Chain A
């Protein structure tokens, strides 16, 4: 090798070293001291061991204002590239807080966009790891446009490839909207997301609030519903991302992974889990766990709108999406947040051809001025819209209560359910007996010499006539009344039959879901 070669190699090596050195030993030590991994360590943890390949490591800012030309930032504060997750390719970006606080400028945005474009061309998932102080002020509106370029790509890729955002540090202002457009948001316990931080909140409204109370993981996973998953630290969080991707296809043109599970049928336990007395509560997650492949249920948004449970599971190795009313919380009634949570989940599953299993035990939409004034009409409508629009296989099991509009909203026959099962204890009616008798028996009760006895008589008649699944079965709204012990085998059989389902919507640009 001659000297010229050697010089060229030395130059490349020193440039590579500069990139790998990131923000320097001191900043990296600080990152580690706060319990966080570096941007590259996160990539290693996200992908199958040794499969991460970095792209565009030399990209750097062209900005020269405010002395930026003197502060060279190798890699421009973000690491991008691809690797394999469960052996399938995926693309990712990981902001590097040690390099300029991970701030986003024109070059960083370009780097992220290049990786997103590759993910779209390769029809592979894109994972965005966020740990950034925000827009790079020195770069002015070029930085803001960088965010716009990312939002635009997030939107175009929506429904084509799964997009996952992972928040592992600050994520403030405009930076929040890329995660918000993506399919799932993961947060670590020490991350925050807010449009305006505590300092601005204080100066504008006078309210004094900590960043954790304003936009920490606990707030977003239980109150705002912004985050779908929360983990205590980087490693468990990235493992959660891998776990989620194990349920998903690579794109809307791909099939989900099949993971052979142990075929255990725990349906026999169902009659012990669900009390026949419909006034008694139970944990519907025990029902789900008894039906799906052992240990396969992966709950989404478990602390938000707990009156409805949604998540992925496997049935005979195939991914399904599960939506279930949770009797344990607010009696399983539907309200604004539950409608939003379930409809977004249903639409995600429909985008990616994941069949839907709906477990129904719903008393009603929650009454009250708070719900009406909060817009339960337009929020509840999302649920009806999402179920009606979904063309994936849709199977329902009416376990106990199915009343009124809430029954119709929970994947009823009329909104396109392919197969509806009911247990013999199911109560499928327009409303409960007590309320119904007060309306339809009003005159008879008033005219009676013994109104209380008349009321009881009418109630008994109503209950006998309507508090069962047989009228619905006679009218074809329920396909079959099944024993609890037959539950898993019937549901699995239905999904197997539905594998070749081919229902398409009329050609249109897109529908107009009531947002």
Chain B
């Protein structure tokens, strides 16, 4: 709201001028009946990069890259979410985790191997 004074043929008027929007409402956002603030969703648990799954326990490379570290071997027991490999790809050390609880069936990759996107990395039975 702005105040203006105008003089017409010697007579002075004071005016309040308010900018209105297309719907005729004052442009200033007015607090209307507010929705409850969105109930805070459970804080998203940090999830490790979830690789595409071939079968229930098969893990394929999400993108082309180089195996930086092999942390588990065939026959090792793993829990879902446990890091099995680190794939260096797209300027990042990507943690590749077990999709399910179980035992690593096959894992023939060594550190330094290169993989293409979609290549089978290991499976968990």
Contacts and interface: CB of A to CB of B under 8 A. Distances in A.
A330 B37 contact: no
Interface stretch (B2-10, B42-50, B105-113): B42-50
Given A281-B94, A363-B92, A401-B91, A260 B34 contact: yes
28 contacts: A86-B32, A86-B35, A87-B33, A88-B33, A243-B35, A246-B35, A246-B38, A254-B23, A256-B29, A257-B32, A259-B34, A279-B88, A281-B48, A281-B92, A281-B94, A286-B44, A295-B38, A295-B39, A295-B41, A296-B37, A296-B38, A298-B38, A328-B46, A330-B49, A331-B90, A331-B91, A368-B117, A370-B117
Nearest to B27: A255
A436 to B, nearest CB: 12
B17 interface: no
Nearest to B39: A295
A363 B44 contact: no
A261 interface: yes
B100 interface: no
B39 A331 contact: no
Interface string A256-299: 11111100000000000000001111110110010001111110
A237 to B, nearest CB: 15
Contact of B32 (A88, A327, A331, A401): A88
B97 to A, nearest CB: 11
A256 B35 CA distance: 11
Nearest to B48: A328
B40 to A, nearest CB: 3
Contacts of A368: 63-64, 116-117
B22 interface: yes
B22 A253 contact: yes
A367 interface: yes
Interface string A315-329: 000100000000111
Contacts of B33: 86-88
A274 to B, nearest CB: 12
A289 B92 contact: no
A403 interface: yes
Contacts of A296: 37-38
Given A330-B90, A331-B91, A364-B90, A295 B44 contact: no
B91 A363 contact: yes
A329 to B, nearest CB: 5
A123 B47 CA distance: 41
Interface in A73-115: 86-88
A306 interface: yes
Nearest to B86: A279
Interface of B: 21-23, 29-35, 37-41, 43-44, 46-50, 62-64, 88-95, 116-118
Mostly, the A contact residues are loop
Given A286-B43, A333-B90, 5 more contacts: A123-B23, A246-B35, A258-B29, A286-B46, A295-B40
A380 interface: no
Nearest to B92: A331
A279 B68 CA distance: 12
A409 B56 CA distance: 36
B103 to A, nearest CB: 26
A329 B44 CA distance: 14
Contacts of A306: 50
Contacts of B91: 278-279, 331, 363-364, 401, 403, 432
Given A286-B46, A306-B50, A281 B93 contact: yes
B95 A281 contact: yes
A504 to B, nearest CB: 15
A367 B23 CA distance: 49
A328 B49 CA distance: 5
Contact of A279 (B22, B41, B92): B92
